[in-house]
Structure 1
Amino acid sequence: MSVNPLSNPKGVELKCELCQRPAFIKCTKCRVTYYCGKEHQMNDWVGIHEKICQLLIPLRTPVPFAGSEEERQHRQEQQIIRQKQMIDLSRTTGQKLLFEGKHVESIPAAIQALRFSIAVHGTASVELVPSYLILAEAAIGLGKLSEAEDYLAQAEWTVLKTPSCPNHFRSRLYRNLGLLAASNGQYDDALRNYANDIFYASQDAGPSDIATSGGYFHMANVFFRQNRMLVADSLYDKVTDIWMKHLQKLTAQRRATPMKRQTIGPVFEEADIHYDYLDEAQTAEAKQVLNAVFDLRQQQTDAKYDEKRMKIAYTLSMLYCLLSDEDKCKLFSRTAKTASENREQDSLSLEIDEFDKFCQRPMTISS
């Protein structure tokens, strides 16, 4: 990215996108975003700005005077629609980066989501809570626990004074409180918070939805740290089963009309076919959680864990099939197939065998 030093007109105060200190350079692509220095410009670019650079132009460029009240109202409505789209994009990006362990990079996305949430909903709205939670989780990941406490206190206060707060906001709040408690070694408090996370996620999406699985996963991690392996294992199994059933549904849709590959280029899907899908944050969560469970199962070499290894490998093979990662899809499907051969054949073994054949064959080539 090029740097454009600023010489501000007299009386014009430009502020850094990330820290709000005086700005001296600007993005030369959108020309409506400013920074205090190269470091913050690069942090913002990697975190969120690359995705929203051009989208900021209509939001930050003054519009000509509107001749009628109707025209002004229409422009204002369009502006709000754009701002809400920016909130959704920034939140999803920030959450995705957290699941990938990129805590520093998630902060600019959270700041953007917070900024646009304030613009649309005001400074006291419960719609600010998801942004506070991304910032809090980033701080936990960076070991800045007192900073995380401040963000969580703001989020918790906003939730408490908003009786109509959505359950999925409450769920995420308790998950973050659990993460903070676990980081402080307060495992009983962490388990109580994860239980609340699961309760509110279940109220919103059901106890066997992927939105609820994260609470089970983090609760399992606490029991694992306490060496309470029977409980931890049962919760890891619950996580695997939730994701396996969800991905079975998604892969079944695509196998009904197999994806094709052009001679050169990426896999593409047939036009006019609409599938359920995982968004960026859900995909990143699936990779994080399922690979962690798989690594654990690989360390458990006893034969009694064969079925667990089979299920998690099968689940990962479906995930990478959806992501068009042929190498990993084939690797995990073959691992699942091998594990299934060590046990009595049942409906799941037959399903894994069929899926392994599907994964191992060459993809259809279209000219």
Structure 2
Amino acid sequence: MDRIYPLAVPKGRRLCCEVCEAPAERVCTACTVTYYCGLVHQRADWSSIHEKICQLLIPLRTSMPFYNSEEERRHGLQQLQQRQKHLIEFCYTVAQKYLFEGKHEAAVPAALHSLRFRMSVHGLSSVELVPAYLLLAEASLGLGQIVQAEEYLSQAQWTVLKSTECCYATQSLLHRNLGLLSIAKENYEEARYHLANDIYFASCAFGTEDIRTSGGYFHLANIFYGLKKLDLADTLYTKIAEIWSKYLNNRYQVLSQNRIQQIDLLGKRFETDTGLDEAQEAEAIQILTSIWNIRESTSNTDPQKTIFVLKILVMLYYLMMNSSKAQEYAMRAFSLAKEQHLSVNEQSTIEDLLNMISAEEAHPIT
């Protein structure tokens, strides 16, 4: 972490903490343009997002240079806006990833950065602010701060109501977060209403069989599972698994057929493509491992469903280039198939996965 020093605040100038907007007492000495109320918030911001964007903030928070012409000035402003837009998406993705990993406290500073950059680029009442409000609401829910979550969601709802340009994807996320709030308040009827709307809007935006729609199915399935409506939950978990299986297998086929994997001098692939950003990969891991844990608890009654989810996890980690995790789940699937005396064909399919992973690592399977 960068060194931390007290900040001498010039008289007549009020500097605010990056995290809480209280009067600042410290400065990041690496960029000298980011301020904090104290050591705790500086460390929190650093570990969340600041380490990743520290130097990128300097041109955004210092005076623009003198330009010789109007054309140069316009070009400078365009570059500045492009940097801000990049940071909007980068901070958003980082915050999302933290949320899917259950790191709610770490998500807050990154989400705040995304919100501030959005305000700077789009204005204080733009619908473009809504995704950041929703991140902050979800982080607040994860921290047990229901009142704070309600405030962020109210702001998001009000912004959407005032807008005539709110896309289906944003409305989907709004209803998903309203559903999560209702779950936290144990109002399951209202939660089902919002999650049904989440699925509807996501389906309008992406289609019913898209991985971006699967999150709504997942939260709805969790409600049914918690209410012991196991048949409904099972149907939805199966649908989610099928969506991810189709997506990942299609990605693998595309990579194989087009031969776009790159090989280093040792013959190992060093770049592949899940087609997902880091946040989406974290969401996939969260959803699929949750379903696997549920399936594993009932594997004696239907081991095929457990093995199916394990094979999806194998493909996910393989495409993420995490061969050790891919092999771990493949071995679990193979052991379960043998233990449950499943067909030779099923065992052979899993062996093929193990051989694929072993070929990746240039180690023959034993």
- Following TM superposition, by how much is the alpha carbon of 1:260 offset from its aligned partner in structure 2, in angstroms? 4.9
In structure 2, relative to structure 1, the CA distance for the partners of 1:191 and 1:69 (3 Å cut) is same
- Tell me the amino acid that sits aligned with residue 312 of structure 1: V
Aligned pair partner of 1:324 in 321, 324, 335:
321
SS, match of residue 123 in structure 1: coil
Aligned equivalents of 1:267 and 1:36: distance in 2? 46
Find the counterpart in structure 2 of residue 122 from structure 1: 123
Aligned equivalents of 1:351 and 1:252: distance in 2? 16
Aligned equivalents of 2:264 and 2:320: distance in 1? 13
- Following TM superposition, by how much is the alpha carbon of 1:254 offset from its aligned partner in structure 2, in angstroms? 4.2
- Following TM superposition, by how much is the alpha carbon of 1:339 offset from its aligned partner in structure 2, in angstroms? 4.4
Cα deviation digits, residues 155-187 of structure 1 (max 9, x gap) = 111112223201111011000000010111111
2:273 and 2:320 in contact (8 A); partners too? no
Cα deviation digits, residues 291-330 of structure 1 (max 9, x gap) = 1111111111324x12211110000011111222222111
In structure 2, relative to structure 1, the CA distance for the partners of 1:357 and 1:267 (3 Å cut) is closer
1:261 and 1:363 in contact (8 A); partners too? no
SS, match of residue 59 in structure 1: coil
- Following TM superposition, by how much is the alpha carbon of 1:356 offset from its aligned partner in structure 2, in angstroms? 2.6
Q: Does residue 227 of structure 1 match 2:228?
A: yes
Cα deviation digits, residues 17-69 of structure 1 (max 9, x gap) = 11111111111111111111110101111111111111111111212221211
Q: Does residue 52 of structure 1 match 2:49?
A: no
Q: Does residue 308 of structure 1 match 2:305?
A: yes
Aligned equivalents of 1:362 and 1:268: distance in 2? 10
RMSD: 2.2
Instruction: Report which stretch shifted further, 254-263 or 17-26.
Output: 254-263
Find the counterpart in structure 1 of residue 106 from structure 2: 105
Find the counterpart in structure 1 of residue 62 from structure 2: 61
Aligned equivalents of 2:187 and 2:5: distance in 1? 49
Aligned equivalents of 1:263 and 1:326: distance in 2? 16
In structure 2, relative to structure 1, the CA distance for the partners of 1:361 and 1:69 (3 Å cut) is closer
SS, match of residue 268 in structure 1: strand
2:313 and 2:326 in contact (8 A); partners too? yes
In structure 2, relative to structure 1, the CA distance for the partners of 1:353 and 1:252 (3 Å cut) is farther
2:334 and 2:351 in contact (8 A); partners too? yes
- Following TM superposition, by how much is the alpha carbon of 1:360 offset from its aligned partner in structure 2, in angstroms? 3.3
SS, match of residue 173 in structure 1: helix
- Following TM superposition, by how much is the alpha carbon of 1:245 offset from its aligned partner in structure 2, in angstroms? 1.1
1:3 and 1:28 in contact (8 A); partners too? yes
2:178 and 2:191 in contact (8 A); partners too? yes
Find the counterpart in structure 2 of residue 268 from structure 1: 270
Aligned equivalents of 1:267 and 1:8: distance in 2? 52
Find the counterpart in structure 1 of residue 352 from structure 2: 354
Q: Does residue 3 of structure 1 match 2:4?
A: yes
1:253 and 1:275 in contact (8 A); partners too? no
SS, match of residue 58 in structure 1: coil
Aligned equivalents of 1:17 and 1:24: distance in 2? 11
SS, match of residue 361 in structure 2: coil
Find the counterpart in structure 1 of residue 242 from structure 2: 241
1:87 and 1:113 in contact (8 A); partners too? yes
- Following TM superposition, by how much is the alpha carbon of 1:207 offset from its aligned partner in structure 2, in angstroms? 0.6
2:274 and 2:316 in contact (8 A); partners too? no
SS, match of residue 58 in structure 2: helix
Find the counterpart in structure 2 of residue 27 from structure 1: 28
In structure 2, relative to structure 1, the CA distance for the partners of 1:229 and 1:259 (3 Å cut) is farther
In structure 2, relative to structure 1, the CA distance for the partners of 1:33 and 1:251 (3 Å cut) is same
- Tell me the amino acid that sits aligned with residue 155 of structure 2: Q
Q: Does residue 15 of structure 1 match 2:35?
A: no
- Following TM superposition, by how much is the alpha carbon of 1:101 offset from its aligned partner in structure 2, in angstroms? 0.6
Aligned equivalents of 2:166 and 2:360: distance in 1? 49
Consecutive unaligned residues in structure 2, runs of 5 or more: none
Consecutive unaligned residues in structure 1, runs of 5 or more: none
- Following TM superposition, by how much is the alpha carbon of 1:349 offset from its aligned partner in structure 2, in angstroms? 6.8
Find the counterpart in structure 1 of residue 361 from structure 2: 363
- Following TM superposition, by how much is the alpha carbon of 1:244 offset from its aligned partner in structure 2, in angstroms? 1.0
1:261 and 1:364 in contact (8 A); partners too? no
- Following TM superposition, by how much is the alpha carbon of 1:259 offset from its aligned partner in structure 2, in angstroms? 6.1
